[in-house]
Amino acid sequence: MFETLKAQPADKILALMQMFRDDPRTDKIDLGVGVYRNADGITPVMRAVKAAEHRLWETQDTKAYTGLLGDPAYADAMIGLILGDAVPRAAIAAAATPGGTGACRQAFEMIRMANPSARVFVSDPTWPNHISILNYLGIEAVPYRYFDSETRGVDFDGMISDLKKAAPGDVVLLHGCCHNPTGANLNPVQWQEVIAVLNATGAVPMIDIAYQGFGDGLEADAAGTRTVAAGVPECLIAASCSKNFGVYRERTGLLMAIAADTGRQGLNQGTLAFLNRQNYSFPPDHGARVVTTILNDADLRADWAAELEDVRLSMLGLRRQLADELQRLAGSDRFAFIGDHRGMFSRLGASPALVEKLRQDHGIYMVGDSRLNIAGLNAKTVPILADAIIRAGV
Ligand code: LMR
């Protein structure tokens, strides 16, 4: 039977991760996969996570199943973190999922179940796994213009004119903040315009929010998501705790489905429970329980938010350092966009050939579309990267 299998395409980000591991050079620099690393190159367990795990170890007296949707306290805590009071709680169905990828996967399955001919509009570019999962599920992905490769900002006019082509029952996938892979984000006025187009076309938004707290702060990064959720009848939100709680391998995510009226919430809730049961039954609990413990304890929450803010500010500092260094070396401000982008990533705008040259000649690893992970840098490697970028002729 297995002889009929065909080789599947490798995930570009994960393949790069392996190439980096296999590279014997000691001065190599990993700017590939989206994992936060501190100045020593370590992805630390956050203080509040350690404390919450310690508390769980002491107090948890069973590992029996939770519910199909996970612990309701986790959903409540996460809904508060992401949405505040933007949407009535009674309209929201929510399921714990294995990470943000699990949330996206379940959302796409729910979309297909509700409307088998739905198309999902995706930003060009978007996180490659969005497209990969959509293809796998046989859902048509329709790219909308997003990144202006001249300004390295958002091509907002292009985006709006493409979104106007969506039909009722189509879905528009948006990045809540810290756009992956470009780092270019919508401003509050632009969010409002997107809502107007969604309401005019009848398309349903799906927001992927995986980097809350990495851009302009926990509240500011949730603002777009809250405005959309409050401004449209129905909405899907896929959230990840991998990055902002640093619990990558625990697979901690949440999918929310917001109904047009509270009477439909139960059906959505039942659908999410069914989809969890079909795909993996009960979602992972450990990461979710750690997150709940932190969010529901004032001291742990304050400590987590403070550490997250330090992470955010360190990435902003590296952005500024890199933009300044490039300005000095290039004698122009053509790299100023790096200081304007937000989140973990920036798209440099280099050709795949130049990205390959940076890897071969300098041991600098970035994704083929020239996405670089700012958090892979430190004060010492920024000048090395800047020098290599200029020398390579980016
Ligand atoms: C990334 O974009 O690098 C991260 O979201 C990790 C992943 O799973 O691709």
Active site residue 210: yes
Residue 80 has pLDDT above 90, yes or no: yes
- Do 265 and 370 share a domain, yes or no? no
Query: What mean pLDDT comes out for the span 284-306?
Result: 98
Question: Could you give the CA distance from residue 130 to residue 172 in angstroms, rounded to a whole number?
Answer: 12
- Do 25 and 157 share a domain, yes or no? no
Confidence (pLDDT) at 67 = 95
Question: Could you give the CA distance from residue 182 to residue 346 in angstroms, rounded to a whole number?
Answer: 5
In a domain, 50, yes or no: no
Question: Could you give the CA distance from residue 184 to residue 341 in angstroms, rounded to a whole number?
Answer: 5
Active site residue 261: no
Q: Whose CA is nearest to atom 2 of ligand 1?
A: 34
ipTM: 0.94
Domain endpoint, select from 296, 323, 349? 296
Give 393's pLDDT tier (boundaries 50, 70, 90).
confident
- Do 314 and 250 share a domain, yes or no? no
Give 26's pLDDT tier (boundaries 50, 70, 90).
very high
Alpha carbon of 33 to ligand 1 centroid (Å)? 6
Q: Whose CA is nearest to atom 1 of ligand 1?
A: 34
pLDDT single digits (tens) 2-22: 999 999 988 899 999 999 999
298-330 and 47-59 helices, crossing angle to 10°: 150
- Do 232 and 326 share a domain, yes or no? no
In short, whether 127's Cβ falls inside 6 Å of ligand 1 is yes
- Do 321 and 366 share a domain, yes or no? yes
pLDDT single digits (tens) 328-348: 999 999 999 999 999 999 999
**CB-based contact 252:287 (threshold 8 Å):** yes
Confidence (pLDDT) at 47 = 98
Alpha carbon of 34 to ligand 1 centroid (Å)? 5
Query: What mean pLDDT comes out for the span 377-384?
Result: 95
Q: Which of 37, 127, 365 to mutate to test the pocket of ligand 1 (most atoms within 8 A of CB)?
A: 127
Active site residue 127: yes
In a domain, 57, yes or no: no
Indicate yes or no: pTM above 0.95: yes
- Do 152 and 282 share a domain, yes or no? yes
In a domain, 54, yes or no: no
- Do 280 and 217 share a domain, yes or no? yes
Which listed residue (124, 170, 208, 285) is catalytic?
Answer: 208
Domain endpoint, select from 296, 314, 345? 296
Query: What mean pLDDT comes out for the span 29-54?
Result: 96
- Do 12 and 141 share a domain, yes or no? no
What is the extent of the structural domain holding 31? 2-45+301-392
| 3-class state of residue 353 by DSSP | helix
Alpha carbon of 266 to ligand 1 centroid (Å)? 32
Q: Which of 33, 105, 177, 178 to mutate to test the pocket of ligand 1 (most atoms within 8 A of CB)?
A: 33
- pLDDT mean across residues, the chain: 97
Residues in contact with 202: Cβ distance below 8 Å, sequence separation at least 6, in sequence order: 166, 167, 168, 169
Confidence (pLDDT) at 306 = 98
Active site residue 63: no
- Do 101 and 162 share a domain, yes or no? yes
Query: What mean pLDDT comes out for the span 193-208?
Result: 98
**CB-based contact 275:114 (threshold 8 Å):** no
- Do 324 and 236 share a domain, yes or no? no
In short, whether 15's Cβ falls inside 6 Å of ligand 1 is no
- Do 133 and 28 share a domain, yes or no? no
Which listed residue (51, 124, 127, 170) is catalytic?
Answer: 127
Query: What mean pLDDT comes out for the span 198-203?
Result: 98
In a domain, 362, yes or no: yes
Give the DSSP H or E segment for 337. helix 337-340
CATH of the domain at 382: 3.90.1150.10
- Do 272 and 315 share a domain, yes or no? no
Phi, psi of 274 (to 5 degrees): -60, -45
**CB-based contact 25:379 (threshold 8 Å):** no
CA nearest neighbour of 372 among 336, 338, 321: 338
Confidence (pLDDT) at 394 = 85
pLDDT single digits (tens) 134-158: 999 999 999 999 999 999 999 999 9
Which listed residue (94, 141, 203, 243) is catalytic?
Answer: 243
**Domains: count for the chain:** 2
pLDDT single digits (tens) 351-364: 999 999 999 999 99
Residue 104 has pLDDT above 90, yes or no: yes
Termini Cα distance of the chain: 48
Domain endpoint, select from 296, 328, 353? 296
Alpha carbon of 246 to ligand 1 centroid (Å)? 13
